[in-house]
Every structure is written in C-alpha cells, then in structure tokens.
C-alpha cells in the first residue's frame, strides 16, 4: 500500500501533452507567467489576449480562444521548459526577445512583480536561449514601452 502511494506520488503523468505549435507554446508561457503569483488578474488576461491578437493577427474572440486552449495546456504541463523549448525552436532571436518582453508585460500588468515572477523570467530567458543583456533589454522595454503591439512577436 505504501509503495503504491509512493508510485502514484512520484510517477510521471501518463497523459502526455500534445505536440506544441508555436502559438500554443507562446500562449502557454504567457498564461504560466500570469498565474505564477497565484493571482490570475483580469488585467493579465486582457493583456494576454491583446498580445496574442497583435502577434498572430487574431480578432478578440480568436485570441481569447487561443488563451483558453493555452490555459488547459498550462494546467497539464510540468515546469520543465517545454513551452520555452517549443518557442526557441520555432522563432529567431528577435522574436524570442519579443516573447520575453511580452512575458515581462504580463508580470507587470497587475501592478506588482514578485521575486518568484522575476526568477521565473530569468529561467525563461535562459530557456529561450537569450543572454543577460537580452533579458535586461526585455525588462526595460516592458517597463517603459507602449503600446503593446510595438514588440509583438
């Protein structure tokens, strides 16, 4: 009985995630960023929808649908970098930097940024294949850039 409990606790999820396309991977990263502080604020949801709409030429309903699909994927995905890997494999450096700017904008959308969010952003930058200079540029762009669409990937 104890062995069965340990196996269930430490066994990997037997339901694998579907193959991630670039849109869902990016949306998943944005959703995870927004949920990281355990406060999935309306401002963050709206910002995600605007970023997805601008990035992929989606109308508001299509952007919300993509976000909703990403919310389901994000809930299933472990924190192992698979969203970042899918983005890194599909986008050039400039677009990966734009994704990091978008993530910073999500982190700052609710008016607060936590150490947990900042640490996650550092890991995300590394997983996206970006160096420290790119991470600093992304943070600065997010803190002072308007409108959102200017750096959409």
The vertex-118 CA angle with 116 and 121, nearest 5°, equals 110
Cα distances from 17 to residues 2, 24, 57, 68, in angstroms, run: 29, 12, 26, 16
The arithmetic mean of pLDDT across residues 26-37, rounded, is 92
Handedness of CA 22, 23, 24, 30 (dihedral sign): positive
d(CA 44, CA 10): 32
Residues 6+ apart with CB under 8 A from 17: 73, 76, 77, 82
The arithmetic mean of pLDDT across residues 122-145, rounded, is 88
For the chain, the C-alpha Rg in angstroms (whole number) is: 16
With pLDDT > 70 as the criterion, what percentage of the chain qualifies? 82
d(CA 39, CA 128): 25
Q: What is the per-residue pLDDT for 6?
A: 42
Query: In this predicted model, what pLDDT tens digit does every residue of 68-106 receive, in sequence order?
Result: 999 999 998 888 788 898 899 988 999 999 999 999 999
Residues 6+ apart with CB under 8 A from 10: none
């Amino acid at each position: 009985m104890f062995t069965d409990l340990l196996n269930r606790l430490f066994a990997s999820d037997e339901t694998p995630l579907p193959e991630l396309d670039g849109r869902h991977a990016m949306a998943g990263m944005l959703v995870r960023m927004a949920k990281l502080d355990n406060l999935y604020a309306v401002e963050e949801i709206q910002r995600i929808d605007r970023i997805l709409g601008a990035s992929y030429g989606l109308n508001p309903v299509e952007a919300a649908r993509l976000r909703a699909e990403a919310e389901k994927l994000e809930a299933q995905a472990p924190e192992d970098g698979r969203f970042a890997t899918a983005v890194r494999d599909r986008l050039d450096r400039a677009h990966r930097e734009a994704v990091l700017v978008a993530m910073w904008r999500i982190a700052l959308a609710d008016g607060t940024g936590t150490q947990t969010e900042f640490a996650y952003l550092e890991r995300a930058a590394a997983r996206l294949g970006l160096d420290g200079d790119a991470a600093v540029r992304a943070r600065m762009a997010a803190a002072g850039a308007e409108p959102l669409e200017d750096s959409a990937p």
